[in-house]
Amino acid sequence: MKKFLSTQYSETSFNVASLVLRLTFGLLLCINHGFDKLLHFSKLEYTFADPFHIGHRWTLVGAIFSEVFCSLLLTLGLFTRVAALILVIEFSVIAFLIHKGSSLGSRELDLVYLTGFFAVLMVGPGRVSVDGMMGK
């Protein structure tokens, strides 16, 4: 009980927590959102949101890149901070540009992902990652 109430943390618990954070957010995003966009590319390429006016198709390609490729990199812990930065930018755009003016309830999932990826960006990959094993 004394250890449970302590404000100190061990390096092992920090590394396990960062692994859980990376796995949870990376895999959920990739499986629930990235693969869905990839599978329905032909349906979405003409109607996908285009906040920067680069074209619906290119915006969709960028979203697929970040939600599949970057989330898998984040899950593996390879180039973790770069992948997390890309995902933070994507979810900032989703939460504050695409869903601008929407209720907090409709932006809740976007903000949760944004918070999770921002946390990974700040703390890094931890030792249980490809980056951590390479000594980066």
Q: Beta strands of the chain (E only): which ranges? A: none
Average pLDDT over residues 54-67: 96
For residue 61, what are its two tokens?
């390609």
Is residue 135 over pLDDT 80? Answer: no
Q: Can you tell me the distance from the alpha carbon of 131 to that of 136, in angstroms, rounded to the nearest whole number?
A: 5
Q: Can you tell me the distance from the alpha carbon of 104 to that of 101, in angstroms, rounded to the nearest whole number?
A: 9
Average pLDDT over residues 64-81: 97
Render pLDDT for 80-128 as a digit per residue (tens, 0 to 9).
Answer: 999 999 999 999 999 999 999 889 889 999 999 999 999 999 999 999 9
Alpha-carbon torsion, ordered 127, 84, 65, 41, to 10 deg: 110
Q: What was the pLDDT predicted at 136?
A: 60
CB–CB of 62/37 below 8 Å? no
CB–CB of 50/56 below 8 Å? yes
Q: Can you tell me the distance from the alpha carbon of 85 to that of 22, in angstroms, rounded to the nearest whole number?
A: 13
Render pLDDT for 24-45 as a digit per residue (tens, 0 to 9).
Answer: 999 999 999 999 999 999 999 9
- pLDDT band of 131, cuts 50, 70, 90: confident
CA angle 9, 10, 15 (to 5 degrees): 105
- pLDDT band of 5, cuts 50, 70, 90: confident
